[in-house]
Amino acid sequence: MTSQDRPAPHGGIMDIAAYVPGRSKAPGAARIHKLSSNETPLGASPAVAAAIAEAARAPQYYPDGSAYGLRQAIGRAHRLNPDNILCSNGSDELLGLLCQTYLAPGDEAIFTEHGFLVYKIQILAAGATPVEVLETDLTADVDAILAAVTEKTKMVFLANPNNPTGTYVPFQEVRRLQAGLPKSTLLVIDAAYAEYVRRNDYEAGVELVGENQNVVMTRTFSKIHGLAGLRLGWMYAPAHVVDAVNRVRGPFNVNAIALAAGEAAVADKAHLEAAVAHNETWLPRLTEEFRAIGLDVTPSVGNFVLIHFPEGKDAGAADDFLTARGLVLRRVAGYGLPNALRMTIGTEEANIAAIAALKEFMAG
């Protein structure tokens, strides 16, 4: 059978390397600590369970296609105009919708070398050309991005903070990036980990969206809000972008249970603050503990750390060693980091176990 004997996807599809999520299993281990997907160790707000139970009482009805209640709740929590908010089935859906809306064959879209793998996937799925730009010290380089811009560049993706490195671009540098782009090029700021950042020179992107017509900020409920299993995201964007994306998104793209859970989660400020406090305690401690045993850790502002192994110690071997002890981390060779592992900041029990296991591995 030849390719002419069956339907064929367009070329960009077959260039895609399918996304591989973090593992969740450790065969043979009595106790498993999943530290591979940057999920919050605190779980969702206690208010979420009640909201889910109420929403589940009437599954025969379609959800609110406009996500009115959730947009209002997000607007109150972040002091944003709900008309400039669009909700989605995870922020990954938004990345795809934006590419579908603004990219076509012949167009180019930029992302950085250690950026989220989904950017390249969605660019190719839209039939456009992905352009990978080198980073400096595992951090997006504004000058390098601007140097890669051509008349074909229709979109630039900036993960801020970035996953899996944990690094970020200060607000003034992001502002300089936007100022250097053509007004017809859309800057997509992926701020999935924004709530965790505690730096005076960081801003998630709200100000830039409010001041410009070519900036979009995407956010997620999967991380600090603990709703990864329900798939819920949102974007804040100029009215013309919201209008365009609304024309291509599915009419009921967010299910009723996720909508109800999102409203409950975003309203619980105390739970969010507890998650931030837990992260603020363990992020520096894990960094210091790992460095003390001879590991290099990239300075992170997220809820995870990128651990680099020295010469003579293999990240794959470390991963196997940890997995055998029920500690499931994330290999990041697919991100161009073959001798590193990414570890989500977990519960106290998980973090202490990871410190002990890595000490044992490094001493062996």
291/196 same-domain check: no
345/357 same-domain check: yes
Question: Looking at 268, 283, 299, which one is the last position of a domain?
Answer: 268
pLDDT of residue 303: 98
pLDDT of residue 224: 98
- Kindly state whether residue 261 falls inside one of the protein's structural domains: yes
- Kindly state whether residue 8 falls inside one of the protein's structural domains: no
At 282, which helix (H) or strand (E)? helix 269-292
Q: Does the N-terminal peptide bond of residue 164 adopt cis geometry, omega within 30 degrees of 0?
A: yes
Question: Looking at 248, 268, 288, which one is the last position of a domain?
Answer: 268
pLDDT below 70 — which residues of the chain? 1-3, 24, 28
114/153 same-domain check: yes
pLDDT of residue 58: 95
- Kindly state whether residue 4 falls inside one of the protein's structural domains: no
322/222 same-domain check: no
Contact 231, 258 (CB under 8 A): yes
30/144 same-domain check: no
- Kindly state whether residue 70 falls inside one of the protein's structural domains: yes
User: Of 17, 53, 21, 50, which is closest to residue 38 (Cα–Cα)?
Assistant: 21
Domain that holds residue 165: 46-268
- Kindly state whether residue 264 falls inside one of the protein's structural domains: yes
pLDDT of residue 2: 58
Output the DSSP codes for 169-192: --HHHHHHHHHHS-TTSEEEEE-T
Mean pLDDT of the chain: 95
pLDDT of residue 28: 67
CATH number at 161 reads 3.40.640.10
- Kindly state whether residue 3 falls inside one of the protein's structural domains: no
pLDDT of residue 220: 98
pLDDT of residue 31: 86
236/345 same-domain check: no
228/258 same-domain check: yes
State the total domains in the chain: 2
- Kindly state whether residue 11 falls inside one of the protein's structural domains: no
| pLDDT, tens digit, 9 for 90 and up, residues 300-353 | 999 999 999 999 999 999 999 999 999 999 999 999 999 999 999 999 999 999
CATH number at 282 reads 3.90.1150.10
* Amino acid identity, position 355: I
pLDDT of residue 18: 75
150/100 same-domain check: yes
- Kindly state whether residue 50 falls inside one of the protein's structural domains: yes
